[in-house]
Amino acid sequence: MFVYLSKKIAIPHNLALQVVAWNSAQGWIACGGESGLLKVLKLESSSEAPAKTAGAQSNLSMNQTLEGHQGNIMVITWNDNFRKLTTSDQNGLIIVWMLHRGIWFEEMINNRNRSVVRDMKWSPDFQKICIIYEDGAVIVGTVDGQRLWGKEIKTQLAFVEWSPDGKNILFCTLNGEVHVYDTEGIYSHRVPIYCLDNGTEGSVAISGIHWYSGFVGPDNQIPALCVGFENGRVQIMRSDSDDKPVLIDTQLRCTGLRWDPNGTTVAVAGMQTQQQAGPGPDREVGVVQFYAPTGQHLRTLRVPGSNLRCISWEGNGLRLALAVDSHIFFANIRPDYLWGYFSHTLVYAVLKKERSEHVVVFWDTQSDEKYTKYIKHVMHIRSSDEFCVLVTKADDSSGQYIIIVCNDIGSPVDSKYLHIEPIHVSMTNSHVIIASEDVVYIWMYRNSVTKHSGGHSELAGMLGGNKRRTEMMFHIDESFAPGTGLHDKEGFVPPVAPAQDPIACIAATEQCFLVARESGVVQRYSLPHLSIEARFAIRCRPQVVAANCDSTRMSVIDINGMLTLYDIEVKGGSTTGMLVGQADKKPSTEAAVGTQLEFERKDVWNMRWASDNPDLFAIMEKTRMYIIRGLLPEEPVLSNAYICAFRDLQIQSVLIDEVIQNPESPRKEVLLDFETKSLRDTRDILTKVSNLKDAFNYVDDNPHPRLWRLLAEAALGQLDFGVAEKAFVRFEDYQGIQLVKRLRLLDDKVKQKAEVAAYFQRFDEAESLYREIDRKDLAIDLRVRLGDWFRVIQLAHGGNEDLLQQAWSSIGDYYADRGKWSNAAQYYAKAQNNSALVDTYYFLEDYDSLERLINYLPEGSPLLTDIGNKFALVGLCEQAVAAFTRHGDVKTAVDTCVMLNQWDQAVTIAQQHNFQQIEGLLAKYAQHLLDKNKKIEAVQLYRKANRHTEAAKLLAQMAKEMPGGAQKNPDRIKKLYLLAALEVEKFKTKTMDAQMTGATNGTMTTAQTVQSLITADQSVASDRALESPWRGCEAFHLYLVAQRQLYEGHYEQAMKTALRLADYEDILDMQTIYSIIALTTYYNKFFMQCSKAFIKLEASGDINEEMRTKFSDLALRIFTRNQPRDPSSRMMPCPKCHQRMHDWCVSCPSCNYRLPFCVASGRSIFPEEKAGGLHGPEDGAGVLGSASGVVKCRCCRHRMYTSEVRKLRNCPLCHSRLDAAYNNEPRF
């Protein structure tokens, strides 16, 4: 930070000031002094006079004398929230003042008449005030004048302070003690004092106490409580019980101290004794010392006068008011903000106390776009031409620091971790240089131009040839003699002892970097190959150093704000004579390196060298900006802005104070541009003098590329091609030289003017000039070169069709680049740009238009492949196949079907185009699914590929392998068998349909038909599940029907159903079949059939011994009480031999004819049995409710009694709709 005195206000009648207080909210300044002097002043703020922010002096907008006190004013305090001023004099009179219509009036008066008021403080919320008297009396009251409590403390008091949370009050006694009380006046504890020497406690008076109230919270570790003593000792504490405070010896007779409004700086004011050179007595001078919360000394401000009594900060922390004798001095504070400028981007960081982190804003000053990031512990920001570097502290306990290189939108480009504390940071276009107190770290984040010179051969050998190292680290006192090592970061060993002469500041250019130490020693190192080039001493303590663009001069701003210049050019010869540790071998060139030039400026707080001229630099001196050419300053300009860049004789600066106060929405008005005198004079000459020779002579005397460019542009405007060509040659602008040659070839001055207007980007003027001479073609050509296709369409309307198509297509590109795909599609369609139209429809998801484009494109067009791929990506198989097929790429069409799992379509396409590879691919994929035990997916694959037999086999296998069998999952097994049977039926139907179609068309002979039938029969006869597909379904269906009838108590029906299960021993196991038969016959009292079932159970080898034993025991218990005889039952004739047999028989005992069964009830169907038990013909008509009483499902071709299915709509076996079956409607 930098501090300088900027303004002085004299008090009338030379009355000495005692106190001064600055209202932080409204900006009023109250000052009090002898004989009741009390004035309220106000300076013009930046919001009231925005034009003044550039650096003009502030004038008084209020100057009122308040009358009411007679004695010397002792205490002044402001209530910022309620706009009240409270004052007290040496007689104990307290007056509360209020503002009414711009004038201050007395609101309340109080006079205790016993003692003098020593201090008054408002609580942090401005609701309470604590008043202390010298005799120990304490009064706490509210803002409206009510007394809360009072207390007499048995000691003399000097100062009072509130804690930031308002829960404690600190009282300072005259003998230097600090006591803590709560808000009710109850004593808590005593604040420990560590800054005084042993034995002096209680004898040194306190000169000031201030507890910054901005940091609130138990986790806060930033020191905020500052206590100062008259002997200059100061301690800064984190809390009122901190046992490790920051201790400072200011070497002052301290008179007061105050924190700035941000809590980042504490100002300690006092008087310092200076010894006189002569025999006269020593004199005291006013001094203000500025410290960081950590105790680091930031700045010293010397104030003229014999008595500095009080200080007070402005609300924004940019000015400090000082009461000195009978004057108020104002000191301007120029903080070290975290900011940088590069690539038209301003990057800055502001601490957000509510989030305990920094908001880092990348503000593009041209487009006004802002990119915001939140980063914790930002310590430094530096910038180069294209990048910036952020140095932060790692948010963990590792103690590391992070170096982040970012581009102009805040995106990190690269980063490194570092273990040394980054106190000083500098950045070039290729290097980041960071220094602690005694260690320097160099990171080459981009490749830079290597130094090539004969004097570096020894260094190149030391560095190991052409091997480029990106990170280097070395100690500041380290020798750089040949053979001392490579100074790699990995091999660096940090020093143990602290440096005796620490680093004060650093600077870097593309060719070298400078390290300045607190003793004034400056060391110059070369880049990119690290070597020390020079070492010299300067007679000051540097705070900021900088080098010009060719590294020949160095500027130094010392801690007192004095700017000096030095010649640091290394003028050839070996550099080994200037190595550290060889001070006795000074070569002749060392006398030139470090020579101070005859140039000094005081109160300089900012400077920047021109990036393109080694003799130009700009400085900020108080509130003025000076541009220095060589060693001569130009006329100053009022400004208070920080310098961003200096290039092309133009200075870019920014009012960073205003940006930091409003970081979320900076205004473009904070950016200021200034021109050098030569640039301004050249503009004046070109505008006022018509003869360009005078301007040429002036620029020739003050050469600069910017001036030559300005002259060349003016010469072009006047069509003076001779001067323009000379200026372009001096400017080294090859394109400008070619432009002049091209202009000389033009035979028409209007054309020349038009080309010049186009060069100056006045395109409308150039177009109008072309149209004046009726050269519409040139106007169109100009717009085509500019890419202004909207204007091209207007100019070329009704003209060249190819040009219109090009314009429409380019306009489509314009809308496509901005994501306006609907507009782009319209113009692409006009331009017949099918390639772009395909992408546009795809982005619009307009697949209907994309599908119509397939038939519009010619066969074999490469765009069809692109369309097919796009359809495949979104899962539209049919459209993708159409595109690939039209392109003639059958293989890709088949692959797309396979990828989208459309195997039926893949097989169809393969058969149509005789594509044989589909069979192997299908089998491979099915095997892949089976290996992963995904049998259902494999079945689905076979079904989609119309491989019904394979699907049926797999379903039948799944049914057989179903865990638990018929005992646990009979319904699921029946469904699997049913699906297998339906797949076989589909296969048969498909085969018969193909044969019937061939026979109808006359393409198949009788022999071919017979051969196809034999082939189809062989394909199903190879597997029993395919030969009799319904057997498995029938078995489990009858098993389920028997179980249901048994549980419903229909024992006779259950027995008839169960007896049929004996025919399905190949599907159901013996125990399941004969157990259900034995159970149903037992309940129906058919003990003969029951006995036969038990015989089967006892004799079966498939049943284990234990179960057979149990069955034997159970049979013994049953048949010892019941004889194995069946009761009489109804007799029915056999349909084949007409012999009478029982109606529960499954087959005829005489001729073994197997009777069909009703799938609804499980009983045998006798052809003469009708719905009501009557007899009729064998076959019934296939409709519900027919006279025969029997219907047949046309899906599974199984029969059922009408009486059983009258209330059913679906077949009990295959579950197809019965009405749909008889009306030839779809069954699935």
CA 812/CA 840 separation, integer angstroms? 9
Give the pLDDT score at 1041.
92
* Mean pLDDT confidence for 48-72: 70
List residues bridging with 402 in a β-sheet: 392, 417
Q: Structure tokens of 737? A: 């030289």
Confidence grade of residue 447 (pLDDT, cut at 50, 70, 90): low
User: Which alpha helices (DSSP H) does 1022-1086 contain, by range?
Assistant: 1024-1027, 1031-1048, 1051-1059, 1070-1083
At residue 582, the pLDDT reads 37
**Residue in this structure with the two tokens 């602290």, named with its chain if needed:** 498
How high is the pLDDT of residue 963?
81
Residue 401 has a pLDDT of 95
Phi, psi at 54, each rounded to 5° = -75, -10
What average pLDDT does range 1133-1147 have in this prediction? 86
391: pLDDT strictly greater than 60: yes
What pLDDT score does 468 carry?
55
Instruction: Evaluate if residue 362 carries a pLDDT over 70.
Output: yes
Average pLDDT over residues 1062-1071: 87
| Across 358-372, average pLDDT | 94
Per-residue tokens: 1106: 């234990």
pLDDT > 80? residue 450: no
Enumerate the β-bridge partners of residue 3: 333
Q: pLDDT at position 960, please?
A: 83
Q: What is the CA radius of gyration of the chain?
A: 51
Degrees (nearest 5) of the Cα angle 407, 408, 413?
A: 10
Report how far residue 104's alpha carbon sits from residue 39's, in angstroms, rounded to the nearest whole number. Answer: 10
Give CA angle at 143 (140, 146), nearest 5°.
60
For residue 541, with 0-12 CB atoms within 10 Å meaning exposed, 13-18 middle and 19 or more buried, which class applies?
middle
pLDDT per residue as tens digits for the range 399-408: 899 999 999 9
Q: Give the model's pLDDT for residue 790.
A: 86
Q: At 406, which helix (H) or strand (E)?
A: strand 401-406
pLDDT digits (tens, 9 = 90+) for 957-982: 888 888 877 778 888 888 888 888 88
| 913 C-beta neighbours (distance < 10 Å), count | 12
Can you tell me the mean pLDDT for 152-175? 93
Q: Omega before 703 cis (within 30°)?
A: no
**What is the rounded average pLDDT of the residues 340-366?**
92
Statement: residue 750 has pLDDT above 60: yes
Q: Percentage of the chain surpassing pLDDT 70? A: 88
The predicted-structure confidence for 767-791, as pLDDT tens digits, reads as follows 888 888 888 888 888 888 888 888 8
What average pLDDT does this structure show over 1009-1018?
55
Q: Please provide the average confidence, as pLDDT, over all residues in the chain.
A: 84
Nearest CA to 737 among 723, 750, 720, 725? 725
Q: Residues 1095, 1096, 1097, 1099: is their CA dihedral positive or negative?
A: positive
User: Lowest-confidence range among 80-84, 251-255, 931-935?
Assistant: 931-935
Measured distance CA(199)–CA(227) in Å, rounded: 19
Contact 138, 122 (CB under 8 A): no
Whether pLDDT at 625 is above 90: yes
The Cα–Cα gap between 883 and 855 comes to 9
pLDDT-derived band at 482, boundaries 50, 70, 90: very low
Q: Can you tell me whether residue 138 is helix, strand or coil?
A: strand
Say what the alpha-carbon torsion angle 344, 3, 45, 79 is, to the nearest 10 degrees. Answer: 130
* pLDDT greater at residue 932 or residue 1162: 1162
pLDDT at 720 over 50: yes
Which residues on adjacent β-strands are paired with residue 173? 157
pLDDT of the residue at 149: 93
- Range 369-375, long-range pairs (CB < 8 A, 24+ positions): 370/666, 371/409, 371/410, 372/410, 372/664, 373/410, 375/349
Average pLDDT over residues 906-913: 74
| Cα gap 899→919, rounded to integer Å | 15
Tell me the C-alpha distance between 5 and 863, whole Å.
76
Integer distance in angstroms from the first to the last C-alpha of the chain? 87
pLDDT band at 186 (very low <50, low <70, confident <90, very high): very high
Give the whole-number percent of the chain exceeding pLDDT 90. 43
| pLDDT value, residue 428 | 94
Q: What is the mean pLDDT of residues 609-614?
A: 92
Which are the contacts of 505, defined by CB distance < 8 A and separation ≥ 6? 424, 516, 542, 543, 544, 545
pLDDT at 1013: 54
Instruction: Return the SS3 of 1148.
Output: coil
Per-residue pLDDT at 608 exceeds 60: yes
Backbone dihedral angles phi then psi of residue 559, each to the nearest 5 degrees: -70, -10
> Residue 460: its pLDDT value, please?
39
For the cut 60, the answer to whether the pLDDT of residue 457 exceeds it is: no
Please give the distance of CA 249 from its chain centroid, rounded to a whole number: 46
pLDDT digits (tens, 9 = 90+) for 684-697: 888 887 778 888 88
C-beta neighbour count of 1064 within 10 angstroms: 17
CA distances, 231 to each of 246, 693, 962 (Å): 17, 71, 98
* Segment 122-130 mean pLDDT: 94
- Digit-coded pLDDT (tens) for 947-959: 788 888 888 888 8
The set of residues, in sequence order, having a beta carbon less than 8 Å from that of 456 and lying 6+ positions away, is 529, 531
pLDDT of residue 797: 76
Q: Given this model, what pLDDT does residue 123 score?
A: 94
Mean pLDDT of 146-164: 93
CA distance 754 to 775: 11
Distance CA 190, CA 205 (A): 16
Angle of helix 734-745 relative to helix 721-731, nearest 10 degrees, comes to 160
Q: Which amino acid is at 233?
A: R
**Is the pLDDT assigned to residue 756 strictly greater than 90?**
no
**pLDDT digit string (tens) for 460-470?**
333 333 445 78
Q: What confidence category does residue 221 fall into, taking pLDDT thresholds of 50, 70 and 90?
A: confident
What is the predicted pLDDT for the residue at 1025?
Answer: 59
Most confident of 137-146, 711-720, 1061-1070: 137-146
Residue 1225 pLDDT level (bands cut at 50, 70, 90): very low
Asked if the model's pLDDT at residue 11 lies above 80, the reply is yes
Say if CB 1088 and CB 1124 are below 8 A apart: yes
Looking at residue 667, its pLDDT comes to 92
Q: Is the pLDDT of residue 69 over 90?
A: yes
